Amino acid sequence: MTTTTFSIWDSEDQTANTPVTSVQVRLYSSDGTSFVTYGVTDSSGNYVVDVPDATYWVRFFKPGYAFPSKLSAAVDASAASNVFDVEAENLEILPPSSASNLCRVSGYVVGAGGQPRQGATIQFMLADLKHIVNDRPITASKVSTRSDKYGYVEVELIQGAFYEVVVEGLDDQVFVSQVPKTAAAALVDVIWPYPARVSLSTTTVSMAVEEVEVSAVLVLSSGVEMPLPVDAPLGAVSFLLQPKSSDENVATVSLTETTLTITGIAAGTCTVSFTATGSYAQRFPALSISFAEINVTVT
CATH code, 80: 2.60.40.10
Beta strand 142-146 with 121-126: parallel, antiparallel or unpaired?
antiparallel
Q: Are residues 39 and 130 in the same domain?
A: no
Residue 126 lies in a domain: yes
Residue 250 lies in a domain: yes
Residue 140's pLDDT is 67
Q: Are residues 183 and 212 in the same domain?
A: no
Contact predicate 155/146, CB 8 Å: no
Residue 144 lies in a domain: yes
Q: Are residues 128 and 179 in the same domain?
A: yes
Q: Minimal CA–CA distance to 70: which of 36, 115, 31?
A: 31
The CA-atom distances, in angstroms, between 61 and each of 8, 27, 33, 118, 209 are 11, 12, 18, 18, 57
Q: Are residues 31 and 47 in the same domain?
A: yes
Residue 214 lies in a domain: yes
Q: Are residues 72 and 107 in the same domain?
A: no
Q: Are residues 154 and 214 in the same domain?
A: no
User: What sign results for the dihedral spanned by CA atoms 120, 126, 131, 132?
Assistant: positive
Q: Are residues 186 and 206 in the same domain?
A: no
Domain that holds residue 294: 197-298
Amino acid (1-letter code) at residue 131: H
CATH of the domain at 203: 2.60.40.1080
Using CA atoms, how far apart are residues 18 and 12, in angstroms rounded to an integer?
9
Residue 97 lies in a domain: no
Examine the fold and report which residue of 192, 219, 243 is the final residue of a domain before the chain moves on: 192
Beta strand 211-220 with 259-264: parallel, antiparallel or unpaired?
antiparallel
Residue 94 lies in a domain: no
Residue 285 lies in a domain: yes
Using CA atoms, how far apart are residues 123 and 126, in angstroms rounded to an integer?
10
Instruction: Calculate the CA 203 to chain-centre distance.
Output: 26
pLDDT tens for 45-68 read: 999 999 999 999 999 988 778 787
Examine the fold and report which residue of 192, 213, 228 is the final residue of a domain before the chain moves on: 192
CATH of the domain at 106: 2.60.40.1120
Beta strand 83-90 with 162-167: parallel, antiparallel or unpaired?
unpaired
Q: Are residues 112 and 72 in the same domain?
A: no
Cis peptide before 227 (omega within 30 of 0): yes
Sites in the chain below the pLDDT cut of 50 = 14-15
Q: Are residues 204 and 288 in the same domain?
A: yes
Examine the fold and report which residue of 89, 123, 147 is the final residue of a domain before the chain moves on: 89
Q: Are residues 132 and 57 in the same domain?
A: no
Residue 14's pLDDT is 47
Q: Residue 211's beta-bridge partner residues?
A: 263
Tell me the whole-structure pTM to 2 decimals.
0.67
Domain count, the chain: 3
Q: Minimal CA–CA distance to 38: which of 52, 27, 53, 22?
A: 27
Q: Are residues 285 and 219 in the same domain?
A: yes
Query: Could you tell me how many residues make up the chain?
Result: 299
Q: Minimal CA–CA distance to 122: which of 148, 102, 100, 97?
A: 148
Q: Are residues 284 and 247 in the same domain?
A: yes
- Nearest-10 Cα torsion for 247, 279, 281, 190: -90
Number of H helices, E strands in the chain: 1, 25
Residue 95 lies in a domain: no
Contact predicate 292/284, CB 8 Å: no
